[in-house]
Amino acid sequence: MSFITAERVSVKFKNKEVLKDITATFHEGEITSIIGPNGTGKTTFIKAMSKMINYEGTIHMDRNPKEKIPIEKMAYVPQMSNSNSNLTVFEMVLLGHMKDLRWKISKDKLEETNKILKKINLSHLSYNKFSSLSGGEKQLVIMAQALVSKPKILLLDEPTSALDIRHQLQVLDLAREYTTENNAITIIVIHDLALSTRYSDKFILLSEGYVAKEGKPEEVLDPLLLKEVYKVEVEVCCTKKGYLSVTPINCS
């Protein structure tokens, strides 16, 4: 079984240490959610994983510190796309095949693109300009673009932040399905604790740039720990369907 190891990863911006000696392991076939208050380094960590920023420490495959992660094995979905591209929705998703595309686009690639657009219920917008879409629709298109590239490592930075409830579930269902079917390693930065418990195999709770707790959702969602990290009193309970629910009570 393949896995990614981050060892003593630290990041500094203008002499301020944003991440401090982060060590964690991410296994294939699992979704790991990075949680924590604003400003604790969640997005910084996932950008370090995707090699978008410089960092100290090592991020490598399996047990070999010299086994660097090939960039072509990754797909990164940002919190919000700033692109105002005049490409069509279909063309934007098709770009996910970029490493495989040649002068001639294969029928298989066209079919895969149509299939993913149908899956996210955006087939009717296939030939609309990407720039004309709402923020939520753009997020779905960028997610689709990432999935058609068939990455081994899927990095999602707050993928549900601009979406309504239905589309939030749809995006996370896609992430769960892709992770399971492709034995992928998926890492998600997310704020919605209750929603993320439905899809996550593991949580990493960050606090002030450190790992405050790593473990299964039920291990990390301890009311006393959450109060210490978030400065909010919460109630954690189990719903009738077996999902964990986190309800804020008051600020401490």
- Which residues lie closer than 8 Å to 10 by C-beta, 6 or more apart? 17, 19, 20, 21, 22, 55, 56, 57
Chain centroid to Cα 134, Å, comes to 20
Is 143 among the domain residues? Answer: no
Angle between helices 135-148 and 165-182 (to 10 degrees): 10
Give the domain extent around 157: 3-82+150-251
Domain CATH number, residue 178:
3.40.50.300
Is 13 among the domain residues? Answer: yes
Give the pLDDT of the chain (252 residues) as one tens digit per residue: 678 999 999 999 988 899 999 999 999 999 999 999 999 999 999 999 999 999 999 998 876 666 677 788 899 998 876 677 889 999 999 988 876 555 567 888 899 999 999 988 899 999 999 999 988 888 889 999 999 999 999 999 999 887 889 888 988 999 999 999 999 999 999 999 989 999 999 999 999 999 999 999 999 999 999 999 999 999 999 999 888 999 999 886
Chain centroid to Cα 212, Å, comes to 20
Is 109 among the domain residues? Answer: no
Is 121 among the domain residues? Answer: no
**Strands laid side by side in the 16-27 sheet:** 16-27, 3-13, 56-61
Is 35 among the domain residues? Answer: yes
Instruction: Please count the structural domains in the chain.
Output: 1
Is 198 among the domain residues? Answer: yes
Q: Which residue has the tokens 């911006």?
A: 13
92-112: pLDDT as tens digits = 999 888 765 555 678 888 999
Q: Which residue has the tokens 């899956």?
A: 119
Q: What is the pLDDT of residue 231?
A: 94
DSSP category for residue 68: P
Is 8 among the domain residues? Answer: yes
Residue 39 main-chain phi, psi, to 5 deg: 80, 15
Structure tokens at 110: 């066209």
